[in-house]
Structure 1
Amino acid sequence: MSFPKDPTGELLELMQGEGIDLSQPYMLDFYVLFNDEQQGRLAADRIAKEYPDSGLFLNQGEQNQLWELRLVKEMVPEHGSITEIETTLQALSKKFKGKLDGWGMLEPEDDDVDDGLDHLPG
């Protein structure tokens, strides 16, 4: 399978090369960064309305002190679907001064690891 030559396509190609079955659903993480907690919380409230069946987590980074909002969504990792979510997240977080910071996933055998992040009620 070939992918577009962009960051999402490159990551999907890498995942395929690692033997990950891209026809199966996985828990994907999408990231948006904020300069302050309040803006992150306001954006999270708005994003929760758009993705009610997804997990949302907001935590402050230890190194850069930015607030990271993480949307966790179970889905098949398809280029079009991922790009659509990123476009929506960028549009929803723009008025809260959020900056899209990409997406990723844990390796399939690591999906059930508790990462200790605070869960935002949805």
Structure 2
Amino acid sequence: MTRNYELFPDDDNGDVLWQMHEDGDDLTELHDIEYSIAFSSQEQAERCALYLLHEEQKITLFADEEVEPAEWIVTIFVNMEPEYADVVDLEEWFTKIAEKFGGEYDGWGCMTYVYDVEDEEDD
């Protein structure tokens, strides 16, 4: 299949969405997409988390101690159809929020669910 650059522009977001599509993921279905913001301090992360809760966002907050120095990560869970324009809009919004609270927007991802229907073979 030839890539439609209107649906899947030639950038990181378009590449990820195109790969999901190529892997058989149905992008017209709702997905739980995770957007992440990283902070160097717990206080900054907690202030951002509280702000996002007031914005009615579903979030988690945890300390990533596997990196030095430890980072605090706020993950925002958005149930949505992964359309390019919506992903970009949310990235821009979360980038502004990250900057407002002294953090850094750290990208998005989601689990893909691809189900293969195998033909039953007669024994």
* TM-score of the aligned structures, taking structure 2 as reference length: 0.81
SS state at 2:14 partner: helix
Q: Which residue of structure 1 aligns with residue 92 of structure 2? A: 87
Q: Contact 2:39/2:104 (CA < 8 Å) preserved in 1? A: yes
Q: 1:30 aligns with which of 28, 35, 47?
A: 35
Runs of 4+ in 1 over 4 A off after TM superposition: none
Aligned residues: 107
Q: Which residue of structure 2 aligns with residue 97 of structure 1? A: 102
Q: Which residue of structure 2 aligns with residue 56 of structure 1? A: 59
- Kindly provide the amino acid, as one letter, of the partner of residue 108 in structure 1: Y
Q: Which residue of structure 2 aligns with residue 75 of structure 1? A: 80
Q: Which residue of structure 1 aligns with residue 119 of structure 2? A: none
Q: Which residue of structure 2 aligns with residue 17 of structure 1? A: 22
Report the alpha carbon displacement of residue 49 of structure 1 after superposing the two structures with TM: 2.6
Larger radius of gyration, structure 1 or 2?
A: 2
Identity value in percent: 25
Q: Which residue of structure 2 aligns with residue 40 of structure 1? A: 45
Report the alpha carbon displacement of residue 44 of structure 1 after superposing the two structures with TM: 1.2
Structure 1 unaligned regions, length at least 5? 110-122
Q: Note the alpha carbon deviations across 1:51-87, whole angstroms, 9 max, x for none.
A: x1x3200111132111111000100001111111111
Q: Contact 1:26/1:108 (CA < 8 Å) preserved in 2? A: no
Report the alpha carbon displacement of residue 97 of structure 1 after superposing the two structures with TM: 1.1
Report the alpha carbon displacement of residue 43 of structure 1 after superposing the two structures with TM: 0.8
Structure 2 unaligned regions, length at least 5? 115-123
* TM-score of the aligned structures, taking structure 1 as reference length: 0.81
